[in-house]
């Protein structure tokens, strides 16, 4: 066991270091790409929004998922600049869809807690991007994970208020995994709760999962928030979600994250086809 342990450790440290150095350059080398995942109104199955997700097209390793490199970017102070690029590119893309008369969409962009900590920089960046592309603030939604805001709830409230002031909406991502106390939830100016896929996962098989989704939908309604169920993969999950009155969903069943060109084709397709 020990003989294997050491070389593996060494390899992963070396690889992590190499990845970090390449990641520092990825943005200026144009290796970052945004994919868009449709957000669906469940009753009609119409596309009502798009979540932008950043991927890294690595010259040797191929397309790398954000779950791998976002934590590295956060840890090494790269996320502020990366996040500002994402925001600008996503809003630019969505503004061209609007200008071409495609159906109006809510655009969701993920932000990380390092961006959230510096309220004035984030507010400034969002304001600049909206002006640059002439994009309506109320159609932009910033997603932050529940885990991340709970690191510093009070400063998160302040940042959310600064953003709400611009007209931008907030969504709480991965809800149910970050131990937020309900008293905090009430203080956050949120438009949306996104139920983590771990709860949606077994909704058609496990009564516990169903009970949690039902409770969160109810909670959201009473707090005046919209609720989205993440990670819907199977048709069998649809009926229980409709029965819970969950209005919006996202997941592979309705579309995996896709290129801007594919998303555009998806927009032109009739809703129930």
Binding residues (CB under 6 A) for ligand C2E: these are 37, 53-54, 65-67, 70, 83, 86, 110-112, 143, 145, 173-174, 197, 231-233, 250-252, 257
Among 66, 139, 173, 238, binds Mg ion (CB under 5 A): 173
Judged by CB under 5 A, does residue 141 bind Mg ion? no
237 makes contact, choosing from ligand C2E, Mg ion, none, with CB < 5 to 8 Å by partner type, with none
Q: CA–CA separation, 217 vs 228, rounded Å? A: 9
Closer by beta carbon to ligand C2E, 139 or else 173:
173
Q: CA–CA separation, 70 vs 79, rounded Å? A: 7
Closer by beta carbon to ligand C2E, 212 or else 229:
229
> From the CB of 2, what's the least distance to ligand C2E, in Å?
34
Name the residue number minimizing CB distance to ligand C2E: 251
Judged by CB under 5 A, does residue 146 bind Mg ion? no
List, in sequence order, every residue forming a beta bridge with 51; answer none if it has no partner.
37, 108
> From the CB of 224, what's the least distance to ligand C2E, in Å?
22
What is the token pair recorded at 179? 């131990």
Q: CA–CA separation, 151 vs 238, rounded Å? A: 34
Q: Are strands 248-249 and 32-41 parallel, antiparallel or unpaired?
A: antiparallel
Enter the DSSP assignment of 235: G
Q: Residue 179: helix, strand or coil by DSSP?
A: coil
Closer by beta carbon to Mg ion, 89 or else 143:
143
> From the CB of 11, what's the least distance to ligand C2E, in Å?
23
Q: CA–CA separation, 184 vs 155, rounded Å? A: 12
> From the CB of 263, what's the least distance to Mg ion, in Å?
16
Judged by CB under 5 A, does residue 112 bind Mg ion? no
> From the CB of 111, what's the least distance to ligand C2E, in Å?
5
Judged by CB under 5 A, does residue 22 bind Mg ion? no
Judged by CB under 5 A, does residue 110 bind Mg ion? yes
Closer by beta carbon to ligand C2E, 7 or else 33:
33
Find the binding residues for Mg ion in span 196-235 (CB under 5 A). Answer: 230
112 makes contact, choosing from Mg ion, ligand C2E, none, with CB < 5 to 8 Å by partner type, with ligand C2E
Q: CA–CA separation, 244 vs 51, rounded Å? A: 23
User: Phi, psi (5° rounding) for residue 187?
Assistant: -80, -25
Closest CA to 263 of 103, 64, 88, 119: 103
Q: Residue 249: helix, strand or coil by DSSP?
A: strand
> From the CB of 10, what's the least distance to ligand C2E, in Å?
27
List, in sequence order, every residue forming a beta bridge with 226; answer none if it has no partner.
192
209 makes contact, choosing from ligand C2E, Mg ion, none, with CB < 5 to 8 Å by partner type, with none
Closer by beta carbon to ligand C2E, 139 or else 174:
174
Cβ atoms of residues 168 and 191 within 8 Å: no
Q: CA–CA separation, 53 vs 257, rounded Å? A: 7
Three-state SS across 2-51?
HHHHHHHHHHHHHHHHHHHHHHHHHCCCCCEEEEEEEEEECCCCEEEEEE
Q: Kindly list the residues in this chain that would bind Mg ion in the complex (CB under 5 A).
A: 110, 143, 173-174, 230
């Amino acid at each position: 066991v020990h003989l294997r342990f050491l070389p593996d450790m060494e390899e992963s440290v070396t690889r992590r270091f190499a990845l970090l150095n390449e990641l520092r350059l990825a943005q200026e080398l144009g290796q970052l790409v945004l994919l868009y995942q449709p957000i669906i109104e469940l009753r009609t199955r119409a596309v009502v929004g798009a979540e932008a997700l950043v991927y890294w097209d690595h010259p040797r390793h191929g397309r790398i998922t954000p779950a791998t490199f976002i934590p590295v970017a956060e840890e090494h102070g790269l996320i502020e600049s990366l996040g500002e690029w994402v925001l600008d590119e996503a809003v630019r893309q969505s503004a061209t869809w609007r200008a071409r008369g495609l159906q109006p969409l809510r655009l969701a962009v993920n932000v990380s807690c390092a961006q959230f900590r510096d309220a004035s920089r984030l507010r400034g960046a969002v304001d600049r991007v909206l002006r640059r592309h002439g994009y309506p603030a109320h159609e932009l939604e910033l997603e932050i994970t529940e885990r991340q805001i709970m690191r510093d709830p009070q400063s998160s409230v302040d940042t959310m208020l600064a953003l709400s002031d611009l007209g931008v909406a907030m969504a709480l991502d991965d809800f149910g995994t970050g131990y937020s106390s309900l008293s905090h939830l009430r203080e956050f100016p949120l438009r949306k709760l996104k139920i983590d896929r771990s709860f949606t996962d077994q909704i058609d098989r496990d009564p516990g999962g169903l009970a949690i989704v039902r409770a969160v939908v109810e909670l959201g309604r009473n707090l005046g928030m919209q609720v989205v169920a993440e990670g819907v993969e199977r048709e069998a999950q649809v009926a229980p979600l409709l029965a819970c009155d969950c209005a919006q969903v996202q997941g592979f069943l309705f579309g995996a994250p896709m290129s801007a060109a594919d998303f555009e084709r998806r927009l032109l397709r009739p809703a129930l086809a």
